[in-house]
Amino acid sequence: MVSATIPDRVPVTVLTGYLGAGKTTLLNRILTHEHGKKVALIINEFGEVGIDNQLVIDADEEIFEMNNGCICCTVRGDLIRIINSLMRRRDKFDHLVIETTGLADPAPVIQTFFMDEEVQSQTHLDAVVTVVDARHIWQHWEADEAQEQIAFADVILLNKVDLVTPAELDELEQRIRKMNAMAKLYRTRNAEVEMDVLLGVGAFDLKRALAIDPNFLGEDTHEHDQTVSSVAIVETGAVNGQRLNEWLGVLLQTQGPNIFRMKGILNIEGEDHRYVFQGVHMLLDGSRDRTWKPTDSRTNQLVFIGRNLNEAQLKDDFRRCLV
């Protein structure tokens, strides 16, 4: 389960959001903003996305340069192939942004960074950013794709906040928090946001995600009609690695399709380093992180986001992995 950390891997931001949420506005901001990064952008089909034509030097190729130094390419075929093509121009960029279609479940794109060894050796998932249309999301709330885009997110932009009342915004934020307790939320107009909350976020940064009110995920907060939810587990003590692997193996086999995202920092028995992991559905990737500091409490912190999760069962099963 442990994989070596490769320092020169390119950070990848996956950008998702329902149709009309404001992804194209955000893409144009990324491409024109003076953020000091050379960005490569992968979009599903150039003709469908309203990237400002003035930014484009030559759109005849599948991969082309923008006049601000960014690289842009379209996925007409296979995502893995296009990433490998881009990596031949590795010196041209230092961050990769992938935009998914508005009706897409983002899981297959995210899974690419767990499944393909060559892609995994050259890139790492920095963050999944979801743009939510604060005005119209209620019309799509029951759509699986809309819920999955929220559930998979590390960063959520609640966009078009000028078109709703503060009370409506608060209600929406509460609903989203119950589905995804670990995402960082930003309220935006016209997708205006600082680039440092989008690029170079670090998907393993769980500090804010796990700084959750312990009662936040209590039984009284669950809405019975809502099948997508978050479960946070915080336990001190050392984890038996073999028991952990066996539990995760069974968990992924039996509930993998229902687990959208999982992340964690673990204190493995006999290890001086923190162990960090994240998973998407039935795929899991983990590695040794920094050494534990003398002041660290060596607390295990895990977050699961998915459909029909049994919170009590997950907590009991994890406790059985403790030494």
Contacts of 256 (CB under 8 A, 6+ apart): 281, 282
- The 8-class DSSP code of residue 163 comes to G
Hey, what domains does the chain have and what are their CATH numbers? 10-197 (3.40.50.300), 219-319 (3.30.1220.10)
Contacts of 6 (CB under 8 A, 6+ apart): 121, 122, 124
* φ/ψ of residue 163, rounded to 5: -100, 5
Instruction: Determine the Cα–Cα distance for residues 108 and 103; give it in Å rounded to an integer.
Output: 13
Neighbours of 231 (CB within 10 A): 20
Which residues, in sequence order, are bridge partners of residue 10?
Answer: 123
Q: Which residue has the tokens 């992938």?
A: 98
Measure CA 68 to chain center: 27
Question: Helix, strand, or coil here: 264?
Answer: strand
Measure CA 124 to chain center: 11
- pLDDT (tens place) for every residue of the chain, 323 residues total: 444 443 478 999 999 988 788 887 888 888 777 777 788 888 765 444 455 444 444 444 455 555 555 555 555 557 788 888 888 888 888 899 888 876 667 888 888 888 888 888 899 889 999 999 999 898 888 877 888 889 889 999 999 999 999 999 999 999 998 888 888 899 999 999 998 889 988 875 555 444 544 343 333 333 434 688 888 888 999 999 999 999 999 998 898 888 988 888 899 999 999 998 888 888 888 888 889 989 888 889 888 988 889 999 999 999 999 99
Neighbours of 300 (CB within 10 A): 23
Question: Helix, strand, or coil here: 246?
Answer: helix
Asked whether the beta carbons of 232 and 311 are under 8 A apart, the reply is no
Q: What is the mean pLDDT of the chain?
A: 80
Instruction: Determine the Cα–Cα distance for residues 83 and 122; give it in Å rounded to an integer.
Output: 9
Alpha-helical (H) ranges within 227-268 are: 241-255
Question: Which amino acid belongs to residue 268?
Answer: I
pLDDT at 286: 83
**C-alpha radius of gyration, the chain, whole number:** 20
Instruction: Determine the Cα–Cα distance for residues 156 and 172; give it in Å rounded to an integer.
Output: 12
Asked whether the beta carbons of 113 and 9 are under 8 A apart, the reply is no
Distinct helix (H) and strand (E) counts, the chain: 9, 13
Asked whether the beta carbons of 17 and 160 are under 8 A apart, the reply is no
Per-residue b or e along 75-94, where b marks 16 or more CB atoms closer than 10 Å to that residue's CB:
beeebeebbeebbeeeeebe
Q: Mind listing the pLDDT tens digit for each residue in 228-259?
A: 888 888 899 999 999 999 999 999 889 888 89
Where residue 59 falls (left for φ over 0; alpha for ψ -120 to 50; beta otherwise) is alpha
Q: Is the pTM of this model over 0.85?
A: no
pLDDT at 7: 47
Q: What is the largest CA-CA distance in the chain?
A: 60
